[in-house]
Amino acid sequence: MGSCLSGTGNGQMKTLTNVVLTEKLDTQGGGHGRIIKCTVDGEPGIAKPLDHIEKDAYLAISRTPLASSIPKLFGSFVSEGTEYVVIEDLTFGFKSPSVADFKVGTRTWDPDATDEKKNGLIEKQKGSTTDSLGVRIIDLKIKKNGEVTKQVKKADGLKLSQDDYRQQLKDFVPEKLKSGYNSQVKDIKCQFEKTLKKFPGFRIYASSLLVLYDGDSPTSIRTKIIDLAHCHLDINTEYGVSNSDKEYDDGVIKGLENLIIP
């Protein structure tokens, strides 16, 4: 698999020494139970097993216009033989974190994915809003008083019609936060377009937009791009394919457009 740092020089991730692991993160979106809350010199963060491609992606994206659209990166550390990357805890300060994980883009496989992997993903997303809208719900939870009051699971997200998806999105974002939410999504779309202008071969496959607010006190909303393991700064350099080849379009801009609430 190609590295997102191809052609950008040797980036180095800070090695952390003062990390204290605390507990598994209750609200993980599509994190599959692997994410652990921690502190870094007393500052709240989350640790997830390090994917070296994702490590390269964080370092590369930090030098693009998209830098403000991904979680803050603290660095990496090793615990009991496992290497972790530590990023900011986007749920910090929320008593009842309401979180939605939206997989963004129409293509969810890497250019070097095996035919079996590629065909499996094509079949999986066939007829879903990934194909039609460039986005689908991976996990959505609304919480109040610490309890989940509504949830849309991954399997449910695959079955949603376009209208149902739009209704779930609208229902998730409180009305008083809609304007701020839309502004953030539009800003991420703008930064993605600026990155494409600077790096025409830039692609992110199978990433997500994570959206969070406090269900007990919905006064602000946070949106960040996560899951960067399939990021490529230049598919032309890495795979010898044309940047204009539609087959390799990630469809992220289309997905972001369909994350804006009318």
Residues 61-72: pLDDT tens digits?
A: 988 999 999 999
Average pLDDT over residues 244-251: 95
Task: Output the pLDDT for position 29.
Answer: 52
- Indicate if the pLDDT at residue 10 is higher than 60: no
Q: What is the mean pLDDT of the chain?
A: 91
pLDDT at 60: 86
Mean pLDDT of 6-18: 66
What is d(CA 53, CA 60) in angstroms, rounded to the nearest whole number?
Answer: 10
Q: What is the pLDDT of residues 78-110, one digit of tens each?
A: 888 888 989 999 999 999 999 999 999 999 999
Alpha-carbon distances, residue 154 vs 30, 112, 125 (angstroms): 8, 25, 11
- Domains delineated in the chain: 19-88 (3.30.200.20), 97-257 (3.30.470.160)
Amino acid letter, residue 261: I
**pLDDT for res 27:** 56
pTM of the model: 0.90
The upper half-sphere exposure of residue 21, i.e. CA atoms within 13 Å in the direction of its Cβ, equals 18
How wide is the angle at C-alpha 146 spanned by C-alphas 140 and 151, nearest 5°? Answer: 20
Give the model confidence (pLDDT) of 208-238 as tens digits.
999 999 999 999 999 999 999 899 999 999 9
User: What is the distance of C-alpha 234 from the center of its chain?
Assistant: 19
For the ranges 19-23, 52-56, 61-65, 245-249, the lowest mean pLDDT is seen at 52-56
